Structure 1
């Protein structure tokens, strides 16, 4: 296609855009006015041959770099030109990336809160028009190699998916990334969309979901790579809004998977066809990730129960087991998984499906009652017997993912194999060790950890994978400060070496955060002695400023006060985040209970209106609704509290006094006495109040209408 496209553009046009590319890359504009004039001149040339330029392999790349520089009017005019041949461009190798760049530009603009209402309305019209075109051509676009990426990006925009949302599969990056000079574009939102457009966009999401479920052939859609990727993003988007549409879509997909299993049934295999198919299994994994607790329990009982071991050894199905263990929400499911898999760790290691073991250990952190069993199964898999000498080597075996006989080459009696030094770290071994550091009872592990040689500990700290092990060690709440201090002391004399290493500097930061003031002074003294080496090194320079060593050298009292203020802020933030996590867990448990009630009373709810006319009241359903409302209210209160505290923190940056204020404000918010915070945060509180009033008025109107 690119060869055909090249004949559509004359040599003058190509040479012109070659010069445009050079100007964009040089970025030597004297001021913004010159830049705007340049963009306007190029834009006028683009409008005459928009479709041809978008489909050309070289000029499309230049357009992708030009789009972020366009103003509102230019974006609208350019988008209108694209819509004239939307289907043709969306299914084109080069043109599809230009459309993606336009959507990315609009996405970035809609995250700004200071946009005028007129501009917001203008962009909303653009999005609605795009959604309408997509809905009309959905049966073609969803299966197309290039257009499916545009669909995924539109779903991200209208659902407000953010980079912080879990389990996001990133849409295809534009071809522009072949150029290092091109501006990086993140297709997932960095912050919430403008509040005025969330509901209209959500309506577009529901409409697009309806079109996909009603018009598309799901027999084909669940086995096609492109359409399956669209469904996965759609499931994530619907799960984010916690809408009934998510459950409906999951049930529809499961129904099609049942049909797929019947059509491809193989009596010689103990694995269901949906788990051995590379595309369908990937879609099933997404269901396991986003399904509610009850839906997940239903899926487990129907597809996974008593099959976990067989699936764990399968090259494709093992990923479904890993996702199930990671996202299971009922202890009965965890207990079942433990009983099926705990005696077969060595077999799972042998086939290389280490992710399952990592998931089980991470689950063990959530459910401490299984930690002893997991530890015993793990050391048995590495052939560590009750012999204390074997236990002393367990960290080396885990971190290299080797059995005792293999690592120490027991069959070869020549040489001193026991003094073998660690020279490589296995990725999964590092993940296992990170989880084990979070276990409540880890005395055997820590004993083996501190029997490592000093050079081995330095090697771990300076390794691309090993530095995460050091971070997990210092962040673990189950490891005492005495043990953490012991590790920091072992690094004494090598602080500068760590600071000047790319990954060692990360490890040193972890040491610094965990250390108390007296220990920080010792580290600072050693670093200051080699201050010139630190300042001449890229990573050392960062450590020098992060540790405020410029103050330590001149005024140690000022340095001490700054470090103490940092520690207090960090502790305050940590306590607030812990409280939020606790409230989130309580909210999830309450929602799970309410969903149980609603599921158990689903039959009576179906005839709710008829029963109410006869004088019957579905009380259990009312209780469930009240429980859900109370949960939502408590969750909002916590969020408002955090917003108010950090809003205040950004306004008043006053060291020690500020930390005390933060603590006071948090306690006052918890007790309901937040008058002082409201006074300082009046604009935000007024906005929150107005939003709540609007929601309340809508609910009141709805109730009146229903009555």
Structure 2
């Protein structure tokens, strides 16, 4: 058992001496807190007077009263234009350093239980009173401070933050102190699970936010302070601290959503469970920061770290259209008077905004603005800011990303027409400049809105293929779009063996193959005319394999899909050993007829030992039932035939009239007809595979009843339990009727005998 309290760690601070330098460090608030309490009970009893309103303990957890005081505190806060005087960082004295090193060693020994750790943390934080800035910004001791803030109780945590509230912005802007500040914020978020401490945490955050507002521009534009401030905004919103995907979304994820490759994750509350936050405090913090920085908005527009804070603010306010219609014009440099009159974007600021979009920081900011802007403001941005500047911005290394975001958030055909009129006829120029992302966004949006589809397909063909070229060169040139357009003699360009497929070229083709078959005939002809060796190289490439899969998922005829699959014959084992191309093998299997499936599985049988050791191997071996084929090929063929029969039966029963009349070669060969219900098809596929494996007919057990079965049950679908109940009830009623019949017959017989 480790001894705690005064016996374990002797206090080095007896009476707080207040000198002029101590006042500068903020010790004037804390002189009455000299000496440590001996145990947690004493600390808890005396917390009320340490920087808090003594009556706050009698308030309920709703925090209504504290919210009213928050307004007053923010009203009285200092102007951002007059930052506080710099703090003089004093060196930590050797005795204090030794004390905190002892604590660090004690925690490192793992001999302290949870309760003892909490008490030690509280005692140590009281030792830090008046020295918070020096300790938090010390490279070594700051790590110990983080451990203390993670292990203390909520009252000690709030007392510490109240004590250093006026120093918090400067701690947050320090390389080491920023980690301490962020740890404190995350610890507060963890304590919010307890309703009883809500008002206590709210008071603490109010004190911190007041100081942040007074120094907002400095904190926002500081590389360390920006990160702390974003964490504080998330806490006020109620976003869990471990929602890293909310805080830092990967650019690849954003791109996939824009190109319809991945369903959008964020809408309204960004798809996350929002905990109880501090909405009024968040509103006051944001308004105070933006109001103070209004005259310095140009700094925020071009500053990398300030832009990140503004982006976070905008994302947290998704759905709050009234606030966004005032914040966004302010960020664009519009006057507040015009915004109040409903003129959100003034013509006078348009040239500046267009130039700003050529800056890295503002280009990122504009992407978020376009993502969250209310519809009326979005329309003004299109017609006033982007119109007549789309090709200019699309040609710029930074500005083109703003154009991609604009195109990806178009909602109506007339908006698409406006964009198409400026850049639709210049697709080749954009590709030659390396702006393939704009082209990909244009194609994906036309597919999503189902407008300008034919124009997009034809324009892309003209961009990569002249009238004298064979159509079979279309797909290879898009796959290696950078190499083709950077080639000096394009007439002599050939398939670059050994080169990596261009990511954006792959994404463009994936979008193209989601079009209707009648629109993409040149692309289908091109990919099915590629040489066998070239198809194999594409399938081996991580980006190229996705193009093969996109073609197999398209509406192209089944025989053309099998023609492409035949080009990979003899190499399925090689492809299955690679993580990315193993998915292609599975797709090829799904869209093959029986003979091709048997050929694919035969190639995997020889490699099943090596394949089972890979990450993707066990799934592929199980999905294709390679072991079953190796041990009992006849039974495997029978099972495949049964599965194919079930697919056809499902297709005939539930397929559309068009699909019923068409000649199909198995359900899997034409499952693109069910692309509107992918979840239903997936569930159905799993049901069929399960029941064909168990030997039970699919339609008999899966709940899909034919018409005669439904009629017998009055059009209802019964579960196994309900059917058992109905059967037993039926038996009971039948036996009752039989007994009644026998009884009536006996009675009638008796009457006849008496009568005779």
Measured against the shorter chain, the TM-score band is: 0.5 to 0.7
Structure-2 residue corresponding to 1:151: 229
Structure-2 residue corresponding to 1:421: 497
Structure-2 residue corresponding to 1:84: 163
Residues 293 and 328 in structure 1, CA contact (< 8 A), matched pair in contact too? no
Residues 365 and 435 in structure 1, CA contact (< 8 A), matched pair in contact too? yes
Equivalent residue of 1:503, what SS? helix
Structure-2 residue corresponding to 1:502: 579
Equivalent residue of 2:317, what SS? helix
1:580 Cα deviation after fit: 12
- In structure 2, relative to structure 1, the CA distance for the partners of 1:484 and 1:252 (3 Å cut) is same
1:387 and 2:473 correspond: no
Q: TM-score with structure 2 length normalisation?
A: 0.59
CA distance in 1: counterparts of 2:178 and 2:239, whole angstroms: 21
1:227 Cα deviation after fit: 2.8
Structure-1 residue corresponding to 2:458: 376
Residues 499 and 540 in structure 1, CA contact (< 8 A), matched pair in contact too? yes
Q: After superposition, give the CA deviation of every residue in 1:467-511 in whole Å (9 maximum; x if it has no partner).
A: 3334433444x3444444444443333233222223223433544
1:393 Cα deviation after fit: 0.9
CA distance in 2: counterparts of 1:464 and 1:395, whole angstroms: 16
CA distance in 1: counterparts of 2:641 and 2:373, whole angstroms: 49
- In structure 2, relative to structure 1, the CA distance for the partners of 1:527 and 1:248 (3 Å cut) is same
CA distance in 2: counterparts of 1:99 and 1:367, whole angstroms: 46
Equivalent residue of 1:295, what SS? helix
Equivalent residue of 1:373, what SS? helix
CA distance in 2: counterparts of 1:201 and 1:456, whole angstroms: 58
1:439 and 2:519 correspond: no
Structure-2 residue corresponding to 1:651: none
Residues 54 and 94 in structure 1, CA contact (< 8 A), matched pair in contact too? yes
Query: Which of 246, 249, 265 is residue 327 of structure 2 equivalent to?
Result: 249
Structure-1 residue corresponding to 2:248: 170
CA distance in 1: counterparts of 2:208 and 2:513, whole angstroms: 53
Q: After superposition, give the CA deviation of every residue in 1:525-562 in whole Å (9 maximum; x if it has no partner).
A: 43233211112334434544565656666686799799
CA distance in 2: counterparts of 1:254 and 1:522, whole angstroms: 62
Structure-2 residue corresponding to 1:399: 479
1:153 Cα deviation after fit: 2.2
Equivalent residue of 2:439, what SS? helix
CA distance in 1: counterparts of 2:119 and 2:546, whole angstroms: 51
5 Å-filtered alignment, 1:445-456, equals 445-456=523-534
Structure-1 residue corresponding to 2:283: 206
CA distance in 2: counterparts of 1:302 and 1:166, whole angstroms: 36
- In structure 2, relative to structure 1, the CA distance for the partners of 1:81 and 1:517 (3 Å cut) is farther
1:362 and 2:444 correspond: yes
1:400 Cα deviation after fit: 1.0
CA distance in 2: counterparts of 1:222 and 1:279, whole angstroms: 7
Structure-2 residue corresponding to 1:491: 568
Structure-1 residue corresponding to 2:273: 193
- In structure 2, relative to structure 1, the CA distance for the partners of 1:657 and 1:439 (3 Å cut) is closer
Q: Which has the higher contact order (CA 8 A, sep 6+)?
A: 2
Equivalent residue of 1:346, what SS? helix
User: How many residues are paired up?
Assistant: 548
5 Å-filtered alignment, 1:464-483, equals 464-476=542-554, 478-483=555-560
CA distance in 2: counterparts of 1:262 and 1:538, whole angstroms: 58
Residues 505 and 543 in structure 1, CA contact (< 8 A), matched pair in contact too? yes
- In structure 2, relative to structure 1, the CA distance for the partners of 1:298 and 1:373 (3 Å cut) is same
Q: After superposition, give the CA deviation of every residue in 1:186-205 in whole Å (9 maximum; x if it has no partner).
A: xx9997436xx54x543443
- In structure 2, relative to structure 1, the CA distance for the partners of 1:486 and 1:579 (3 Å cut) is closer
- In structure 2, relative to structure 1, the CA distance for the partners of 1:364 and 1:297 (3 Å cut) is same
1:398 Cα deviation after fit: 0.9
- In structure 2, relative to structure 1, the CA distance for the partners of 1:154 and 1:398 (3 Å cut) is same
1:397 Cα deviation after fit: 1.0
Query: Which of 308, 313, 321 is residue 234 of structure 1 equivalent to?
Result: 313
CA distance in 2: counterparts of 1:19 and 1:513, whole angstroms: 61
Equivalent residue of 2:218, what SS? coil
1:140 and 2:220 correspond: no
CA distance in 2: counterparts of 1:445 and 1:77, whole angstroms: 67
Residues 186 and 241 in structure 2, CA contact (< 8 A), matched pair in contact too? no
CA distance in 2: counterparts of 1:278 and 1:13, whole angstroms: 43
CA distance in 1: counterparts of 2:559 and 2:190, whole angstroms: 48
Residues 90 and 134 in structure 2, CA contact (< 8 A), matched pair in contact too? no
Q: TM-score with structure 1 length normalisation?
A: 0.63
Residues 228 and 283 in structure 1, CA contact (< 8 A), matched pair in contact too? yes
1:338 Cα deviation after fit: 0.9
Structure-1 residue corresponding to 2:399: 317
RMSD: 5.2
The unaligned stretches of length 5 or more in structure 1 are: 24-28, 173-187, 582-653, 665-672, 681-707
Equivalent residue of 1:431, what SS? helix
Equivalent residue of 1:245, what SS? helix
Residues 189 and 240 in structure 2, CA contact (< 8 A), matched pair in contact too? no
Equivalent residue of 2:215, what SS? helix
Residues 350 and 385 in structure 2, CA contact (< 8 A), matched pair in contact too? no
Equivalent residue of 1:149, what SS? helix
Residues 216 and 293 in structure 2, CA contact (< 8 A), matched pair in contact too? no
Q: After superposition, give the CA deviation of every residue in 1:407-428 in whole Å (9 maximum; x if it has no partner).
A: 595677xxxx757536222222
Q: After superposition, give the CA deviation of every residue in 1:93-150 in whole Å (9 maximum; x if it has no partner).
A: 122123324444665787xxxx6xxx24436743563255224422414532122222
Residues 601 and 624 in structure 2, CA contact (< 8 A), matched pair in contact too? yes
- In structure 2, relative to structure 1, the CA distance for the partners of 1:132 and 1:402 (3 Å cut) is same
Structure-2 residue corresponding to 1:458: 536
Residues 143 and 226 in structure 1, CA contact (< 8 A), matched pair in contact too? no
Structure-2 residue corresponding to 1:290: 372
CA distance in 2: counterparts of 1:341 and 1:4, whole angstroms: 60
1:155 Cα deviation after fit: 2.7
1:130 and 2:171 correspond: no
Equivalent residue of 1:279, what SS? helix
- In structure 2, relative to structure 1, the CA distance for the partners of 1:554 and 1:351 (3 Å cut) is same
